[in-house]
Amino acid sequence: MSRIICIGRQTGSDDDARALKYIAEWLAKRPGYEALAARLKTEDMDIYDMSTLPKKGDGIKALLRYRDVKAVVALHIFGIDFTVGQIQRNPRLVTHGWDLYTRMNHTLLDICMDRKIPLIAWGDQPYRWDRSNRSQIVGSAYLYERKIKAAHA
């Protein structure tokens, strides 16, 4: 079975459960995403969260390690909106503080688009998304999918 990586799902958080419910409801109405919606609804995911599950490790490192990833869900992932320039000017932005863990978060969209993996981000959003199609789910939740190049006649 393919893997769904969820980054930032805090253990015991009603807000995160509600976010996943809203995302699942939206995906269920989108052709081709019904199975993903059903798995999100039951939280059938590989969950990574540095504030509540630090021993499990970094979800982005897991994304790089596993080849069977079908989708990535990022809930209020801090630093996803950082630019390379911001990080170069202030390297402390990518330190290992568990509450504001950001080590590789700014690379998440590029990794997903390179591998053609849909990314669902709730809360902070990537600072650019020119390589992807972006669809608003609800509030501050967006689906990013790799752009498909048009065939030329």
Q: Is residue 31 pLDDT above 90, yes or no?
A: yes
Taking only the tens place, the pLDDT of each residue in 69-100 is: 999 999 977 677 777 777 677 766 666 554 55
Q: Does the pLDDT value for residue 11 go beyond 90?
A: no
Q: In whole angstroms, what is the distance from residue 58 CA to residue 133 CA?
A: 26
User: Average pLDDT, stretch 35-55?
Assistant: 91
CA dist 99 and 97 (Å) reads 6
Percent of the chain with pLDDT over 90: 45
- pTM beyond cutoff 0.75: yes
pLDDT tens digits, residue range 127-150?
Answer: 777 778 888 898 888 998 988 765
The pLDDT of residue 14 is 92
41-50, 86-95, 103-112 — most confident range: 41-50
